[in-house]
Amino acid sequence: MPEAPHNLHDLYEAILTGDATRSVEITQAALDAGVDPQCLVNEHMIPAMDEAGRRFEIHDFFVPELLIAARAMKGALVLIRPLLAAQGVQPIGRVVIGTVKGDLHDIGKGLVASMLAGGGFEVVDLGVDVPASKFIEEAIKHSADIVAVSALLTTTMVGMKDVVQALRDSELRDRCRIIVGGAPITQQFADAIGADGFSSNANSAVTLARTIVASA
């Protein structure tokens, strides 16, 4: 395997400082050199976003810095997401995914969507700020096996309960399962709102979804 032309810590720095041009350039060069895309995401890109969040907490960063860091991360993910997605395999199940109402964070949800697609699922991504009724409408329309809901804010995660309830009240209640995830979500919270599953990251979301369709 050829050597990566950049020190990959530069990717971390490019995202943290919101340098989208550089983050795309380093990502492309690393991929061309054969670096594993998941290694780029897990070891360099997510830590950069975590550091941005830490600086936001201590008032070193403000919303504009978070926005440009997110833009730099998303630019690099444009190159990575297709590599995570499956090519030409029969879907093993259908997932409708979105970020809960009131919440605009979409990077983690997008990664989960890509990993599920890469894991053989057909994925319908509803985007951000998705009301409970929309999850159910789309799940019915696409005969979904799983509804996957993401939340990044402690103020919006409570809205996941509405999605669980709307699913239980719908015609889908016996044939569609609901999974939840996102930084503030725990197994305890998932159990408390009656979700069928929780995962803390994009990889384990695929394992969870596979277990759910296999046991249906």
Binding site for ligand B1M (CB under 6 A): 46, 49-50, 52-53, 56-57, 63, 66-67, 69-70, 102-109, 111-112, 148-150, 152-155, 179-184, 199, 201-202, 205
Q: Are 96 and 136 in contact (CB under 8 A)?
A: no
Residue closer to ligand B1M, measured from CB, 88 or 154: 154
Strand segments (E) across 28-128: 93-99, 121-125
Exposed/middle/buried for residue 154 (C-beta within 10 Å: 0-12, 13-18, 19+): exposed
- Residue 174: partners with Cβ closer than 8 Å, 6 or more residues away: none
Which residue lies nearer to ligand B1M by CB, 5 or 127? 127
Q: Residue 133's CB: how many other CB atoms inside 10 A?
A: 13
Smallest gap from Cβ 203 to ligand B1M, in A, equals 7
Residue 63: how many other CB atoms lie within 10 Å: 8
| Residue 141 C-beta: closest distance to ligand B1M, Å | 19
| 22 vs 105, beta carbon nearer ligand B1M | 105
In the complex, what is the shortest distance from the CB of residue 47 to ligand B1M, in angstroms, rounded to a whole number? 9
Nearest-approach distance from CB 175 to ligand B1M, in angstroms = 18
C-beta of 1 vs 110, nearer to ligand B1M: 110
Q: How far is CA 108 from CA 47, 77, 147, in A?
A: 13, 11, 16
Tell me the closest approach of the beta carbon of residue 74 to ligand B1M, in angstroms: 7
Residue 137 phi, psi dihedral angles, 5° rounding: -55, -50
Q: Which residue has its beta carbon closest to ligand B1M?
A: 108
Residue 3: DSSP 8-state: P
